[in-house]
Amino acid sequence: MPRIQIPKNGPMATLVREANLYTSANESAQRISVIMPGRELVIVGRSGPWIQVFANVDAPESRDANMPSIAGEQAPVPISGWMLDKGVVDVNTPHGDRILFGEAVSAEDAASESNPPPTAAQEARLLYVRVVEMFPKSPLAPEAMWRAADIRWQLQKADASTLPSAHEQAPYLRQLMDENEMKDIQKYFPRTKWAAFAAYDMIDNKLCGDWQGQEKCPEKEAGYYVKFADDYPDSMRAPEALYKAAWRMAAAGDMWTADGNDSRAKEDRGHAEELATRLETKYPDSVYADRVADLMFKLQADIQIYGSSRE
């Protein structure tokens, strides 16, 4: 199929349903493609209940460098055709941002089910992308951009976990997640909870794939989580970060004990207790305060955290 430039001489639009694209404004005409929800459309003509559109059928189109962008995927292939004007949301649709965001949330919920529709996650991501691109001034845009980026991040993370390299200790030896969209969130929506969420996700790219019995791994990882809690103390993720840091320091203590280094074991367990106390003091209402209370109890009772606790 020859590539063509998608025109900008009409309103940008998208779909909240799956729709057939035809060669002419007639359901008996040849069907060109099936357009899934969230794909970018530009409306270039109308005929009764029909609209003529250019549609991107592969991936979101990259945007101007000065605008929030959701890129990094395969270049789109715009095609032209006719579809029924049904389930179409364009930039002039009243409450269009809310309609698209609501549909995206529904698709994301469907993607989290035990037997999800095969395209639910991708549809959710595309719909969030459209909120950002079609309604950049919407109060929903920051969250939509975050959700789109996070869906992509989690899909990449799941794919990377199936590769043999996932067990490599050093991060640079593994397939890492693309950070561009996360960094865009921090760039365009700084000092927001969405920027903090992006920073938290990006810790994944710094973690060891497999500790391989090396205490440096949990110690370094604890440092990353502590830095997050220092940088984003008001984030919903801060208590979780402190818990993960405390647990890792406790685990490192167990690893030092197994290696016969009681001095380093005592030091790391001491750090774990300090972090646990910090969590309980600063975030007493967090569910992680309860979890860290359990961790503290085990530390004080000299119960092993990492590995088997059976004596």
Identity (one letter) of the amino acid at 241?
A: A
pLDDT the model gives residue 75: 57
Which whole number is the average pLDDT over 186-199? 95
**Beta-sheet pairing, 19-22 with 12-15:** unpaired
Total domains in the chain come to 2
> Are 133 and 219 in a shared domain?
no
| Mean residue pLDDT across the chain | 90
What does the radius of gyration of the chain's CA atoms come to, in whole angstroms? 24
> Are 230 and 128 in a shared domain?
no
- Residue 269 located in a structural domain: yes
For residue 277, name the pLDDT band (cuts at 50, 70, 90).
Answer: very high
> Are 112 and 15 in a shared domain?
yes
Residue 110: which CATH number? 2.30.30.40
- Residue 193 located in a structural domain: no
> Are 3 and 110 in a shared domain?
yes
Domain boundary residue, one of 118, 138, 158: 138
pLDDT the model gives residue 7: 55
- What is the spatial distance between Cα 167 and Cα 187, in angstroms, rounded to a whole number? 32
> Are 218 and 100 in a shared domain?
no
- Residue 291 located in a structural domain: yes
- CA atoms lying within 13 Å on the CB side of residue 183: 6
- What is the spatial distance between Cα 278 and Cα 241, in angstroms, rounded to a whole number? 12
The pTM of the full predicted model, rounded to 2 decimals, is: 0.86
Q: Are 239 and 290 in contact (CB under 8 A)?
A: no
Q: Are 153 and 185 in contact (CB under 8 A)?
A: no
Which whole number is the average pLDDT over 291-307? 93
Domain span including residue 98? 1-138
- What is the spatial distance between Cα 211 and Cα 223, in angstroms, rounded to a whole number? 15
Residue 89's closest CA among 80, 81, 97?
Answer: 97
Which whole number is the average pLDDT over 46-73? 65
pLDDT digits (tens, 9 = 90+) for 129-138: 999 999 999 9
Inform me whether the pLDDT recorded for 205 exceeds 80: yes
Q: What is the SS3 assignment for 35?
A: strand
- Residue 262 located in a structural domain: yes
CB-count burial class (<10 Å; 0-12, 13-18, 19+) for 73: middle
